[in-house]
Amino acid sequence: MNRCKECGKETKNAKYCSRSCSCSASNRAVPKRKAKPRDCPKCKKRVPAGYPRRVCDECRADIERRRIKESTMIGELAEKNKGTHRSWWFSEVRGLCRKMNEHRPKVCQVCGYSLHVECAHVKAISEFPMETTLGEINAEENVAILCRNHHWELDHGHITTDDFTS
């Protein structure tokens, strides 16, 4: 019988009585590497140690917004969702619109209501040609932040962009 090098119990194995004792000894001899904090290459803000990305959250969101603005077109979404109704293509455009405009205040531009607001396209998505990029459709000039009532009124021609505060 041998003695465990970690806990001293008697064992039939040459060095350790269990995997637990073997791991404890190994971890003490060679500890895990510690992740080092680093700076975001874009804004030079400190990114925490062990963070899964190279850039900070703000820069990542900005990169994603810019990529969506410049590259994707309605025609690409139509091709990707081939065989579905046009409203499915537009729902994806609206989802990307929310993502691109998440930095804006969540307050209705007409009445100031803030409990539930929506992104409303001033010029309807269906009025744009298929070659239009999402950056043009979801540009801040074409997107208004409105409550449900004012969104409906805008869609049905009861209010115009002159009624908006900002």
**Mean of per-residue pLDDT scores for the chain:** 85
One domain, residues 91 and 102? yes
> Which of 34-43, 70-79, 114-123 is the most confident on average?
114-123
Looking at 14-18, 64-68, 141-145, which range is the least confident one?
64-68
One domain, residues 82 and 109? yes
Q: Shortest CA distance to 50 belongs to which of 61, 34, 66, 39?
A: 34
One domain, residues 103 and 127? yes
Looking at 12-16, 37-41, 77-81, which range is the least confident one?
77-81
Number of domains into which the chain is organized: 3
One domain, residues 18 and 58? no
One domain, residues 127 and 157? yes
One domain, residues 90 and 133? yes
One domain, residues 91 and 26? no
One domain, residues 46 and 22? no
pLDDT at residue number 148: 95
pLDDT at residue number 166: 56
Q: Flag whether pLDDT at 150 surpasses 90.
A: yes
More confident of the two residues 40 and 78: 40
One domain, residues 59 and 47? yes
One domain, residues 40 and 28? no
pLDDT tens by residue, 63-115? 877 777 776 777 777 777 777 777 777 777 888 888 888 888 999 999 999 99
pTM equals: 0.59
One domain, residues 58 and 90? no
Looking at 56-70, 104-118, 121-135, which range is the least confident one?
56-70
Q: Flag whether pLDDT at 4 surpasses 80.
A: yes
Domain that holds residue 67: 36-71
